[in-house]
Structure 1
Amino acid sequence: MKRLLISSIKEIYSWLIRLLSNSNRQNEVVEQVCYLMSFPNNDQGLIEAIQRHYPIVVLYSKSCKDEAKLLEKKGVSIYCLDTINGLINGMKQLSISKIIVADNYFACLGDITFKETQTVYQLWHATGAIKQFGLEDKAAMKRSKKDKERFKRVYNAFDYVFVASKKMGEVFKRSYGFSDEQILLTGFSRTDHLVNGTKTNNQKDKRHILYLPTYRDRIPLEKWLLDIEGVSKQLNEHDLLQVKLHPHVKLTQEMTMENVEWISSSQSADDYIKQSDVLITDYSSVAFDFTVANPDKQLIMYWPDEVIYEEITGIQKGIKQDFPQKVVYTPTELLEQLNSNQPIDNQRFNQLWNTYNDGKATSRVVGEIKKVMDGEK
């Protein structure tokens, strides 16, 4: 019953988007960029860089409200897609914008009839991929035929995708059905500040160990969450374990352990990435951000639930061979790797996945937009 209700709501939403799209069909396309935002801190200056050349409007999800409000103060027009008025006005902006940039899968894009003079880009929200998504997502494969058709309509709405490597380009070819011509090797603009930014560590006498796990809504907590208390007891006095969990994960023992600092879910992980000596993560794309910011720092991949995660979501084939170190599965293996004296070298991993993340990605992305605006593409 619940699944039927959700499916019906999605059908009504699709009908509404088609209705709004048809009502805006006669609108003239203008030299404007429309940015669809669903991930906070994902553009990291790209929107402002575009604004220096062209008018830009932002259509945002409510999770990005604070960031959108800051952009509004800088002269950017904003519309919340989670309100009726915002959706209606947003669809109008999509109908008149020559360039559309989206940082995620937006269901509305699959039901809009774009004109030949419009170009739609996928920016995405990660520089690399460990888990499978799109057409390869194991969960999506089990959805209804109608759902799969809806997914493909969205994938087909995109003309190009910005990527940081040929590796990620291959992922999009499999996940979205893209062709070689749709892959733009520009680099991931969000990483520019990681490459160019100043790294600070206010506690230089401490080894900062950052734990950033991926949230799983279908796997029990005890199957994947690191034994934070147990590991903290094995750390020495010069170690500081910094833990940033998803807002949905609530632990009763927070703020009660020695050598452990709990990072608020509202704080950006990027600031901690730049100052950390070690990153412990699992299927999160933060691994790629960490190595591009810290080419000589230790990356530990902790996968205690690999078998379950592979079955439910899926993991990119061959990714384990790309990591600088072997994947670990138990707290004991993790501690052994953490305290090993093996030299750290993320160069090969970065060459494979961060190929074009050289601090100049934003300028290349803006350059691609300018080509279309100037009629060169």
Structure 2
Amino acid sequence: MDQRGECVSNPLVLASKEIYLKLVHRVSRKVKKENNKIVFLLSFSTSSRYTLQLLYENFPDQLVICYTSDSKMTAMDYKRKGCSIFDMDDFSTLLKKIVPIVSGSRLIFCDNYFAFLAGVSFSLHTKVVQLWHANGAIKAFGFEAKYTENVTKTDKKRYMSVYDKFTHYVVSSRKMTNIFAKNYQQKINELPFGYIPTDLFFDQIWVDKAKKCFYSYYPDNKKTMLYVPTYREKAKKIPLDFSNLQQRLGNKWQIMVKLHPHDKQHNEIMNEPGIITDFHNLDLIQLLPSVDCLVTDYSSVPFEYSLANPKGKMIFFCFDYEEYDKEVGIEKDFMEWAPGEVVQTEEALISAVKHSKNQSFSSFNQLWNEYVTGDAGQRLLKWVKKIYDN
């Protein structure tokens, strides 16, 4: 499996994908009538919920949500509000409902790569907007990812057929625009609005509320270290002795660990005494303003944390740097702009947490959050209204 969730070697699977796309294409070509719907292809609820909320508040009668199984609960919330929702993982629903609506829509938002788009025929004035589910990139994706080197020519052609469908990209920087252009081998038509969820960090009322909620659950007399590792396709044990980590950092620190939902180490770490893994339904973006020290590796969370907590500290615990670079790929200039220490051992991590160094995220934000001004959502809405006013 590659990181799109596609099998890249089984001939029977490859053949079935070709049939799948031909069926999608056949249904799509029959659609002659346009609709006024705004379609949101949803797979990352956490990063997309703020955009969904804005679209619902301003275009409640036009919003249609097509969701993957991981995002079903969010989609159901909008169904209760009166929105039409459809399950993308149900092939019958995809052909009978989703493809006709998407093919006739003037505007489609995507928060990920969606394979069925390769078979859809759009009119020349249809806008397909890639919102993406991250504000920046440390690890490689698309054609730059190492796992893509081993796929077939047919696979690559299919990937390109999806990438070709995107007409616009909402981005926070020229840096990210260039990464999309490189990884997708496309000329990028950017919407320089900024990453929409980061608008919250410019809303002091929201920030104060998030902190108040955080400290209603956790002590306010301790510093907080939050460990957020990226998801690894090949499961491997994180080389951290959490008991030792707690002992060495002492009572001044509380340690939180937020793993990817699919990470198989959940139960193991949840049973670690003293390690906080219960976040009382607070999502990651609500935690960040109260985190004193963020520990991560190749995740996209640093691009948000630098705005959520400009006086905070970041440490990159890259225990498998060489291996990960070989298997997945890491941006070649990562070491040049990483806004914090990069360490590979537990001892170095403990030392970095305990011995505070002055950090400034200024140059990092200039590089990665160049377009971010706190009004990304309003700028997007203005752009959408312009499309429907014409």
In the superposition, the TM-score normalised over structure 2's length comes to 0.89
Find the aligned partners of 1:29 and 1:372 in 2 and give their Cα distance.
14
Structure 2 CA distance for partners of 1:338 and 1:144, relative to 1, 3 Å: same
Find the aligned partners of 2:19 and 2:299 in 1 and give their Cα distance.
33
How many angstroms does 1:74 deviate by? 2.1
Q: Tell me the residue number matched to 1:112.
A: 120
Instruction: Determine whether 1:184 maps to 2:186.
Output: no
**Unaligned segments of structure 1, at least 5 residues:** none
Q: Tell me the residue number matched to 2:374.
A: 359
What secondary structure does 1:260 align onto? coil
Q: Does the Cα contact within 8 Å between 1:232 and 1:257 map onto a contact in 2? A: no
Summarize the alignment of residues 114-263 of structure 1 with structure 2, pairs less than 5 Å apart: 114-180=122-188, 182-196=189-203, 197-198=206-207, 199-200=210-211, 201-202=214-215, 203-218=219-234, 220-222=235-237, 224-246=238-260, 247-250=262-265, 253-263=268-278
Give the counterpart of 1:73 among 80, 89, 106. 80
CA-based RMSD: 2.1
Amino acid at match of 1:193: L
Structure 2 CA distance for partners of 1:37 and 1:208, relative to 1, 3 Å: same
Q: Tell me the residue number matched to 1:3.
A: 10
Find the aligned partners of 1:312 and 1:255 in 2 and give their Cα distance.
28
Structure 2 CA distance for partners of 1:342 and 1:254, relative to 1, 3 Å: closer
How many angstroms does 1:174 deviate by? 0.5
Q: Does the Cα contact within 8 Å between 1:188 and 1:357 map onto a contact in 2? A: yes
Amino acid at match of 2:376: A
- Percent identity over the alignment is 30
Find the aligned partners of 1:268 and 1:85 in 2 and give their Cα distance.
33
Q: Does the Cα contact within 8 Å between 1:44 and 1:193 map onto a contact in 2? A: no
How many angstroms does 1:6 deviate by? 2.4
What secondary structure does 1:262 align onto? coil
**Unaligned segments of structure 2, at least 5 residues:** 1-6
Find the aligned partners of 1:359 and 1:260 in 2 and give their Cα distance.
34
Amino acid at match of 1:103: D
Instruction: Determine whether 1:268 maps to 2:276.
Output: no
Find the aligned partners of 1:59 and 1:290 in 2 and give their Cα distance.
29
Corresponding pairs, count:
370
How many angstroms does 1:101 deviate by? 0.8
Structure 2 CA distance for partners of 1:346 and 1:259, relative to 1, 3 Å: farther
In the superposition, the TM-score normalised over structure 1's length comes to 0.92
Amino acid at match of 1:217: E
Q: Does the Cα contact within 8 Å between 2:108 and 2:127 map onto a contact in 1? A: yes
Structure 2 CA distance for partners of 1:38 and 1:266, relative to 1, 3 Å: farther
